[in-house]
Amino acid sequence: MLSSINYLIKKLKDVFTISENKKYITFNTRYEILDYLRLSLPDSFVKNKIGKGSGEAKLYVGQYNEEYHSFFDYLDNDFFFLKSDINKYLFDARNEFLNPKQDYRDKNSVMEHYENALEFLNNQPNEILKFKMFRKGVEPPRVYLQSDSEYYNLIRDIGLPNISHLLILKLKSFENIISYYCIINFDNSKKFSRNRIFFGAPGTGKSYELNEQKNELLGSFTKNYERVTFHPDYSYANFVGTYKPIPKKDEHGKESITYKYIPGPFLRILTKAIKYPSEPFLLIIEEINRANVAAVFGDVFQLLDRKKDYCSEYPIDISEDMKKYFKEVEIMNRLPDEKLFIPKNMFIWATMNSSDQGVFFMDTAFKRRWDFKHIDINNNDYKIQKFKFKLENDKIINWNSLRKSINSYLLDEKINEDKCLGPFFINIAQYESEILDEDFINLFKNKVLMYLFEDAGKSKRDYLFEGSKDDNDFTYSKICKDFDSKGINIFNSKIIREYKSIADKNEE
C-alpha cells in the first residue's frame, strides 16, 4: 500500500467532476486519496474457475498487520463501484470472455457471465453502485472481506483469475467522510512479449497481425501508442531525441531562434508509461531492419534486457539534456538513482521483412533481446480464397491457388520462404465482387510479375517464365504482354500442373 500516487489523484479529479447530464458521476466535493490497495482476484474467489476447487465468497486481502487494520478502519462506511468503470473492464476483457485463452473449467459459462453482466449493468439506473463490506473474520495471519451485495457478487461473476485486479482507494472528502472506491481492471499484458518483432514474407499481413494484437493489448486505451517507420537515414536523434531550433520572439518582439531538447517517439512513449504506470503503452516500429538499428538505438539498446517484472534490468545514465527534459515533464523524481529505464507497462513491437533489398544487418546481440513472431506465408489465406479473376480468353483463375502454386515452385527451387508471396501481397480488401476486375489484373502485372522478375525469381527467370521465353526478347514488358494473351501459361509447366491440382482440390 502506498500513499504517494499523484498521477492517480489527478486522473480521479477529472472523473469526479464529470457532469450529471452526461450520465456520469458528479461528486459535489473533492476527495483526497489516503491510501490504496491492489488485489489480484484469485481462482478461489471468482466463478470463472481454472482450478478444481469449489471456491469461496470471501475475498483474501492480505496478511493481518497494523497496516491492513488501519486501511480498513472505516469498514462500516460505503464501498462503491462506478458503472462506467465496470463497463470499461468488460470492454477491455471482451476478447478473453468471447474467445478464452485461459483453460477455464467451463468456457460456456464464461461467456454467459459476460452477457449477463452487460444486461445487469444496462438495467442499473445509477452510475454509483454503493454497497457495504464486512470483515469475514481474521484467520491468522490472513484477512478476508465479504459482502452480500449484488455488486460484490457481480465482480465474482466477471472476475478472471490471474488477469483481473481490484484496486481499492481509501478516500476522504472535504467533509472528512471516509469511503472506499473500488475499480476492477483487466491486465492481459503478461500474455504479450514486451519486445517483439513480427517477420515473414511480403504480403503475409505482419502489420495487420500487429495491429490486431495492439487493439487487444491496449483495450480502451486506444491512443496509448506511437508508430514510426525506420528508413536508411533514420537516426538516434530522430528516435530518442535531440536539440532542435525553435523560433521565438525576443524581448523586443523580434524573431529569433533558440534551441530546445525535442524527444523522439521512444522518449515520448517512455515518459507517458512512467507517468501512468497503470496503463499499457506501445511503440510500433515498422520496417525495423531498414535502418542501422545499432546506431538508432545507441545506448538505449542496453534497456531492452528485461527482468522478471518486465522493467529494464540494466538502467543507464541520463544525459544532462534528458535530465532537463524529464524535469520539465515532471518524471525525474520517478527515475530511481536518476537512471533511465523502460517501465514494465511499455511495449516495443516491430515488423521486418528480411527479404527486402537494401536492408541493414541486425547482429545477434540485438536479436536476442527480442521475441520473434513468424507470420506464415499462408496466414489467414482463407480470407482471399473466394477471389478469382478472368483472363481475356474467359478463363477463370483463383488468385490464392495461383499464389500457392508459384510459392511451391519457388520453394522447390531452393528460394527462401521470405521471398514467397503472402496472401495479401495484393490488397484485395477493396474489392466487393468475388470476380476481380481489370484493375486487379493490372496490379498483378505491376506487382506480382514485377516482383518475381526483378527480385524473388531473378536468378530463375528462364525457368520461372518458361512459357514466355524468347531468345530475342525476354523482358518484363514482353512477359506482361504474354500474360494478356496466354494467361498463366507464361509460367513454368510445374506451376501450371500445381495450380490445376490445388484448384481441383478446392472444388471437391
- Using the structure block, give the residue that is written with the C-alpha cell 480498513: 72
232 three-state secondary structure: coil
Specify whether the CB–CB gap between 409 and 419 falls below 8 A. Answer: no
Residues 430-461 pLDDT 10s: 777 777 778 888 989 999 999 999 998 888 88
Element (H, E) at 67: helix 66-71
Give the CA radius of gyration of the chain.
29
Domain map of the chain by residue range? 6-186, 190-375, 381-507
Report angle CA 223, 5, 132 to the nearest 5 degrees: 95
Listing from the earlier edge strand, what are the strands of the sheet with 388-390? 396-398, 388-390, 435-436
Residue 72 to residue 1: CA distance in whole angstroms: 12
Specify whether the CB–CB gap between 277 and 161 falls below 8 A. Answer: no
The answer, yes or no, to whether residue 9 has pLDDT greater than 50, is no
Please indicate whether residue 440 or residue 197 has the higher confidence score (pLDDT).
Answer: 197
What does the pLDDT average to over 220-229? 90
When pLDDT is cut at 50, 70 and 90, the band that residue 149 belongs to is: very high
Give the single-character DSSP code of 331: -
Residues 39-80 pLDDT 10s: 888 888 889 888 766 667 888 887 767 777 788 888 889 999
Measured from the Cβ of residue 363, the count of other Cβ atoms closer than 10 Å reads: 9
Residue 238: the pLDDT is 95
Element (H, E) at 200: strand 195-200
Residues 289-325 pLDDT 10s: 999 999 999 999 999 999 988 899 999 999 998 999 9
> DSSP string covering 251-274, please?
TTS-EEEEEEEEE-HHHHHHHHHH
- What's the one-letter identity of residue 167? L
Residue 140: the pLDDT is 58
- Cis peptide preceding 141, ω within 30 of 0: yes
Specify whether the CB–CB gap between 47 and 107 falls below 8 A. Answer: no
74 — phi, psi (to 5°)?
-120, 45
- Using the structure block, give the residue that is written with the C-alpha cell 495450380: 499
Please indicate whether residue 15 or residue 249 has the higher confidence score (pLDDT).
Answer: 249
The answer, yes or no, to whether residue 6 has pLDDT greater than 50, is no
The answer, yes or no, to whether residue 408 has pLDDT greater than 60, is yes
34 is written with which cell numbers? Answer: 489516503
> DSSP string covering 423-489, please?
TTSS--TT--SSEE-HHHHHHIIIIIIHHIIIIITGGGHHHHTGGG--TT---HHHHHHHHHHHGGG
Mean pLDDT of the chain: 85
Residue 137: the pLDDT is 56
Q: Which CATH code fits 190-375?
A: 3.40.50.300
Beta strands in 17-87 (DSSP E): 31-40, 59-63, 79-82
Specify whether the CB–CB gap between 266 and 299 falls below 8 A. Answer: no
Q: Pick the most confident of 5-9, 69-73, 355-359, 407-411.
A: 407-411
When pLDDT is cut at 50, 70 and 90, the band that residue 243 belongs to is: confident
The partner residues of 181 in beta bridges, in order of sequence, read 80, 169
Distances in Å between the alpha carbon of 494 and those of 14, 158, 257, 417, 455?
Answer: 67, 56, 67, 18, 20
How many Å separate Cα 372 from the centre of its chain? Answer: 15
Q: Is the entire prediction scored with pTM above 0.85? A: no
Nearest to 179 by CA among 35, 12, 60: 35
Residue 507: the pLDDT is 67
Distances in Å between the alpha carbon of 35 and those of 16, 41, 59, 80?
Answer: 17, 19, 19, 16
Residue 112: the pLDDT is 93
Nearest to 135 by CA among 190, 68, 233, 202: 68
When pLDDT is cut at 50, 70 and 90, the band that residue 132 belongs to is: very high
Element (H, E) at 168: strand 164-173
Residue 28: the pLDDT is 43
- Using the structure block, give the residue that is written with the C-alpha cell 528462364: 462
